[in-house]
Structure 1
Amino acid sequence: MSRTIPLLDLTEWRTADAARREGISAELDASLRETGLFLLGGHDVPPELTGRMRAQGRSFFSLPTEVKRQYAVARPYDNGWRGLGALDVGAVDGMSGAPDLHEAFHTGPTHRTGDHAFDTAYYPANKWPDELPAFEDTALEYTGHMTRVSHEVLGILAVTLGLSEDFFTSRSQRATWTQNVNWYPSLHTVGDVREGQMRVGPHTDFGTISLLDRQRGIGGLEVWNEREGWFAPPFVEGTLVVNLGDLMNLWTDGRWRSLRHRVLAPSHSAPDEELVSLVHFFETDPDTEVVPLPAPTGGGAGMDSVVAGEYILGKVGATVTVG
């Protein structure tokens, strides 16, 4: 059944024999071909840390606008704050409707290569708010777990494809990534909602995988596949949603789907509902040449190779200035 979204338990995978791993991989492969996501348990991210990360983000969004503006993003691929209505993610695929009804705070890696131009393009500096002295340590601890989990998931995906376990991770030792804290304000806060306007409009992510820690809500996540159209994936407390992005779709030459998803507008049936989501957008090393895998491993779509970092910058509307 197409609405059966598998739950991968990392604890089980780590101890599973070859036959069980083959069964798990078959379930993952089927879901990734059709929809592009699965749920992830056994990830060992401390619930207390997740709660602390969410609380730090919520405290930031509660600051006065003039304070938040000091930490605003300055270019498309940047870290810092984006205010309400600053994004229209559907515009990337020509599906622009109305500005998204959320605020976001972006953080990224602290590693650097030593090449100033390269680092400036691909590793924008973090903008830690002076008003929240615990935010930096909390975010660094949380994103350390997200990087760990991303690498473990990428190893499982490589095994699922019949590749060496380090196929993706060996190309992701200084990967670019962005950690979002997304605040979805209540209907009372945003006021009128325009026709077609959502907390996040329909889109696909740009990278290899995304890890989402979401809260249950009426105005929450919906995903799409050709058989079912739009539907809400199951919510299982303590799990992460793993969804594939455009780079993984390209890398597998169309075998696996880049998940199309959206976050619904705040509802009149729950006018006080506000949600905070934590989203980790993992990519790969920016100078990695992503060559579509040949059939039968790849899907045979005939996609063109790309350089990962240039591809990501192009997706977000930035200009590559290195070289």
Structure 2
Amino acid sequence: MSTVIPSVDLGQWRSASADKRERVAADLDTALRDTGMFLLDGHGVPREVIDGFRARAREFFALPHDVKARYAVESFHDSGWLEMHPAGGVGVLREEGEEAPSAPDLHESFYASPTHRTGNPDLDRFYYPANRWPSEMPELKLAADAYTGHMVRVAETINELLASVLGLPEDYFTSRATKSTWTQNASWYPSLNAVGGVASGQLRNGPHTDLGTFTILSRQLGVGGLQGWNEADGWFAPPYGPDSLVVNLGDLMEHWTDGRWRALKHRVLAPSPTAPDEELLSLVFFYESDPDTVVEPLVAPVGGGRGLPPVVARHEVLRKLGVTVPTGGPTP
């Protein structure tokens, strides 16, 4: 049986009858158990907001290297510009016996974070790192702010949807995400002609799972594009809709559901000789929860029965990045 990735229309979900909601929830639950992905329509993000942010991000990546370097990240959890990603980096998943590629992933990224503050500067740099907006193009911040405003709104609705699927109170996740940590990423995948060649095993983005609760992705269709993975089908090309957003579950939601749902393993293929001029730009919104949320894995039958321990949300995300938050914060 081929992989089925459901599409949920938020407008229709809000007005659906109880029977219709039950059918949608069952299909969504199956997909999240098997794969960890669904498409989202009826989200209300204007096309001009999406296109505007993508265009401004593309203009940033076209800036000279020495200009972009002024805004370079200094650690894994920073905001700012990241050049070609390190080979076999954090979060990369390899099959048994597979060696890490010797060349970096073929993409550049620009990261932005929320402007919440805890009042503790030592914590803020781990929870809400300061943004590095390029002074050369103030339009980038304006476009990113417009887009992320919609992403926060959509994320809150997704949290309500997921709680409903699990049979929990609708505010179960939103009440734990009032000042959520998140990262807005624009990722540019240059063309084959631009990079000049691809090393053995090199991809635009190596196999990985995301670290947070879920990710909201606005992607472009391409030959060297996104692939998801599940045990039934291995690697597959997910469905694409020009107005659809992709929602991928991350490690924190897999942990929260005690293994009932799975974080999506995914990758982005290398640029292809069949499309040597193809370049893609993805807008990737990594969402978490309030940083101090103690994630208590849900008890069966709601949870998956894996018996995972509680973790502190942001601390767990940073732990997987090799970063330790200063002592004095919460403990699970």
Question: Once superposed, what is the RMSD of the aligned Cα atoms?
Answer: 1.3
Partner of 2:50: 50
Q: TM-score, normalised by structure 2?
A: 0.95
What pairs up with 1:198-277 in 2 under 5 angstroms? 198-277=203-282
Question: In 2, Cα distance between the equivalents of 1:320 and 1:85?
Answer: 23
Which amino acid is the alignment partner of residue 70 of structure 1?
Answer: R
1:148-182 Cα distance to aligned partner (Å, 9 max, x none) = 10110110000100000011110001110000000
Say which of 105, 109, 112 aligns to 1:104: 109
| 1:298 corresponding residue in structure 2 | 303
The one-character-per-residue Cα deviations of 1:205-246 (angstroms, maximum 9, x if unpaired) are 000010000001000000000000000001111000001000
Within 5 Å, give how 1:24-173 maps onto structure 2.
Answer: 24-86=24-86, 88-89=88-89, 92-93=92-93, 96-97=100-101, 98-173=103-178
Aligned residues: 323
Distance 1:217 1:145 in 2: 25
Q: What one-letter code is carried by the residue in structure 2 that aligns with 1:319?
A: T
Q: What CA distance in whole angstroms lies between the structure 2 residues aligned with 1:89 and 1:241?
A: 24
SS in 1 for 2:285: strand
Unaligned runs of 5+ in 2: none
**C-alpha distance in 2 between matches for 1:40 and 1:289:** 28
Report if aligned partners of 1:289, 1:306 keep a CA contact under 8 Å in 2.
yes
Q: Which runs of 5+ in 1 are unaligned?
A: none
**In 1, Cα distance between the equivalents of 2:276 and 2:92?**
30
The whole-number CA distance in structure 2 between the counterparts of 1:92 and 1:54 is: 26
SS at match of 1:181: strand
Percentage identity across aligned positions? Answer: 56
TM-aligned CA distance change 1:190 to 1:272, over 3 Å: same
Q: Are the aligned partners of 2:92 and 2:206 in contact in 1 as well (CA < 8 Å)?
A: no
Give distance in 2, aligned partners of 1:191 and 1:144.
Answer: 37
Preserved CA contact (<8 Å) 2:108 2:187: yes
Cα distance in 2 for partners of 1:86, 1:230 equals 23
Point out 4+ residue stretches in structure 1 off by more than 3 angstroms: 85-96
Contact 1:11 1:43 in 2 (8 A): yes
**Which segment is superposed worse, 111-120 or 295-304?**
111-120
Q: Which of 189, 192, 195 in structure 1 is aligned with 2:197? A: 192
Amino acid at match of 1:101: L
Length-normalised TM-score, structure 1: 0.97
The amino acid across from 2:283 in the alignment is: L
Q: Is the 8 A contact 2:91 2:210 kept in 1?
A: no
TM-superposed CA distance for 1:114, in Å, is 1.4
Deviation at 1:75, TM superposition (A): 1.1
